[in-house]
């Protein structure tokens, strides 16, 4: 019986959990369509927004062709990250890559299904807006922090 690589198991669990959580939450929000609401006064609001670009609405796309190219680019990134995750040797890197891939798959699903990413968490400091994100963006950020932590761990003598 072949041995299961522990790092690959961590990656697979992270990808599956994040993707499932993102799809479930977004499905519920899109079906129920709750009104905009203050979640944490002065910091976090629930607000429907469709992002046709990438992070911070960069590379905004209004055409089907542009949306398709952005989707293909995101799919290529997922494939590269998947190859990196396949070779991950430690749990922290595997977790980080799995979180990023799971979040990217959630955003890729939105992009293919709706030609835009459904964002709904509006973060702000008082009246100063910071950004609008979704459930998939949180694990992407956490995954990036895991990879940074792993990089610092590797640099220690």
C-alpha 131: how far from its chain's center? Answer: 14
CA nearest 36: which of 106, 149, 124, 150? 124
Candidate list 62, 64, 110, 119, residue with the active-site label = 119
Q: CA 86, CA 78: separation in Å to the nearest integer?
A: 12
Based on the residue annotation, tell me whether 119 is a catalytic residue of this protein: yes
CA nearest 139: which of 108, 111, 97, 109? 97
CA nearest 16: which of 101, 92, 86? 101
Q: Which helix (H) or strand (E) holds 47?
A: strand 44-51
Active site residues: 119, 137
């Amino acid at each position: 019986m072949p041995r299961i690589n522990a790092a690959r198991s961590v990656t697979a669990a992270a990808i599956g959990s994040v993707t499932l959580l993102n799809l479930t939450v977004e499905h519920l929000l899109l079906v129920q369509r709750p009104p905009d609401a203050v979640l944490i006064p002065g910091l976090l609001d629930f607000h429907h927004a469709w992002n046709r670009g990438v992070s911070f609405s960069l590379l905004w796309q209004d055409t089907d062709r542009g949306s398709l190219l952005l989707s293909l680019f995101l799919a290529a990134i997922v494939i590269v990250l998947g190859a990196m995750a396949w070779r991950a040797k430690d749990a922290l890197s595997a977790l980080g890559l799995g979180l990023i891939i799971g979040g990217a798959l959630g955003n890729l699903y939105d992009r293919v299904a709706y030609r835009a990413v459904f964002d709904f968490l509006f973060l702000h400091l008082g009246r100063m807006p910071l950004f609008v994100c979704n459930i998939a963006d949180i694990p992407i950020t956490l995954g990036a922090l895991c990879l940074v932590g792993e990089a610092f761990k590797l640099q220690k003598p």
